[in-house]
């Protein structure tokens, strides 16, 4: 049996487990196949010994009878929500997980499907990091996930470089795990905003509910946010020469804003580095001394010269130091 056929038969069985009875046409619509193919799949399940039987008549169809229904339909609402909070984020980076998620939704009782789907869509994973990393999962992830699924507002205390401490009430729309750095995409009176969870000092779910915009999709919104952030983070690009053995260190620091353009015969590599400003690049390269040669732009070279002059003035040679 080919993989596609096996995948369809599993999906058909899960759908029967969720609904108890389906018609060949309903199954064809769910699996996006012809009615004839759906009917043959149902017949194949029956021939394999699974108690799937056709029922003639106006209200007939194919039924899964006896004790063949699984414990999936015995899940409680909180259990279904917990399951989809776990599986949902993986669907953003895995086609297999996405297919499994679709089958699980079909197998759930209809009363749980909307909540389970909301849970699955509450969080996505973005594996590409921005050069920094937080090793501990923020403690308020579970609280925010519950608020997202239940459409409840959240009161947060937030600290950032531009605002040391502020209190605000927000509409939590979705969470993003960007290589262990967590972000909350939320609605505010000033429009959509993004908050780093490690900068949320306190969070509390409010009693008030909110309505998520009809056209909001977390994956689409995150793509837009990443695009805007990348534009700000890479406003300045510099070309540098560095011993090739040090390239992994640069890449670890600059993340995806570090690109090797060419490897030279002298053991050095030409690398392109991106940061918001020339000063940001110069500060990160100053400690490398003569191991790094900045080829361009002149603004980064000028910042390195200024930093070097300041250091030379502050720290004269030992023989020139006052006792």
Q: pLDDT (tens digit, 9 = 90+) per residue, 217-228?
A: 888 888 888 888
The number of angstroms, rounded, from the C-alpha of 3 to the middle of its chain's C-alpha atoms is 28
Whether 65 shows a pLDDT value over 70: the answer reads: no
Q: pLDDT (tens digit, 9 = 90+) per residue, 150-161?
A: 889 999 999 987
CATH assignment, 141-231: 2.30.30.520
With 0.75 as the threshold, say if the pTM is over it: no
Residue spans per domain, the chain: 3-69, 72-121, 141-231, 234-314
In this structure, are strands 166-178 and 123-126 parallel, antiparallel, or unpaired? parallel
If one compares 313 and 295, the residue with the highest pLDDT of the two is: 295
CATH architecture of 234-314: 2-Layer Sandwich (3.30)
One-character DSSP codes across 7-60: HHHHHHHHHHHHHSEE-HHHHHHHHTS-HHHHHHHHHHHHHTT--EEEE-STT-
- Please report which confidence band the pLDDT of residue 71 belongs to, taking 50, 70 and 90 as the band edges: very low
Whether 149 shows a pLDDT value over 90: the answer reads: no
Of 89, 170, 74, the C-alpha closest to 126 is: 89
Specify whether domain 3-69 bears CATH 1.10.760.10: no
């Amino acid at each position: 049996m080919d993989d596609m056929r096996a995948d369809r038969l599993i999906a058909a069985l899960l759908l029967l487990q969720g609904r108890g009875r389906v018609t060949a046409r309903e199954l064809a619509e769910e699996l996006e196949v012809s009615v004839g193919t759906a009917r043959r799949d149902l017949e194949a399940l029956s021939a394999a010994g699974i108690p799937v039987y056709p029922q003639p008549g106006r209200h007939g169809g194919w039924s899964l009878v006896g004790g063949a229904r699984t414990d999936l339909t015995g899940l409680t609402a909180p259990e279904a929500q917990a399951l989809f909070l776990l599986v949902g984020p993986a669907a953003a980076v895995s086609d297999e997980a996405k297919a499994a998620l679709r089958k699980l939704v079909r197998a759930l009782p209809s009363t749980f499907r909307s909540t389970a789907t909301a849970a699955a869509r509450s969080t996505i994973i973005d594996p590409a990091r921005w050069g920094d990393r937080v090793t501990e999962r923020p403690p308020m992830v579970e609280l925010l996930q519950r608020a997202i699924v239940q459409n409840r507002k959240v009161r947060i205390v937030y600290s950032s470089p531009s605002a040391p401490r502020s209190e605000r009430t927000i509409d939590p729309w979705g969470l993003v795990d960007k290589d262990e750095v967590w972000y909350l995409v939320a609605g505010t009176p000033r429009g959509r905003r993004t908050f780093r969870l490690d900068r949320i000092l306190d969070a509390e779910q409010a009693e008030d509910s909110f309505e998520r915009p009809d056209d909001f999709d977390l994956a689409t919104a995150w793509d837009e946010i990443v695009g805007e952030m990348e534009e700000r983070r890479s406003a300045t690009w510099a070309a540098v020469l560095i011993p090739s053995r040090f390239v992994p260190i640069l890449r670890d620091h600059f993340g995806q804003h570090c690109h090797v353009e060419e490897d030279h015969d002298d053991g050095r590599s030409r690398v392109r580095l991106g940061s918001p400003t020339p000063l940001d690049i110069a500060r990160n390269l100053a400690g490398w001394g003569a191991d790094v040669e900045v080829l361009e732009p002149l603004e980064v070279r000028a910042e390195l010269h200024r930093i070097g002059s300041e250091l030379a003035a502050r720290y004269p040679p030992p023989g020139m130091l006052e006792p």
